[in-house]
Amino acid sequence: MTAVINVHEAKTNLSRLLERAHAGEEIILAKAGKPYARLMPLAPDRSGRHPGRVPDLVVGPEFFEPLPAEELEAWGTL
């Protein structure tokens, strides 16, 4: 069942309402007794993507060494 909560009550109990929504409950926020917005859980991320993570990436100390002069020249930075 969907709960209808007035904005004043929602401001007072926002943390509890967020927990209820996170648990799967849909909550309608009402302003002056009229439905105004919906508080509901986000869909789970099923993309399998994890920004910033590359599986099995091993960076050796040579990664942090300066590039040789011929490499810098090829890039036009010398």
What pLDDT digit, counting tens, does each position of 26-47 carry?
999 999 999 999 999 988 777 7
Separation of CA 67 from chain center: 37
Laid out side by side, the sheet with 27-31 consists of 3-6, 27-31, 34-39
**pLDDT-derived band at 78, boundaries 50, 70, 90:** low
- Give the position of tokens 């909550």: 27
Q: Measuring CA to CA, which residue among 56, 59, 20, 58 is closest to residue 39?
A: 20
Mean pLDDT value of segment 5-11:
95
**pLDDT-derived band at 1, boundaries 50, 70, 90:** low
Which residues are 35's β-sheet partners?
A: 30
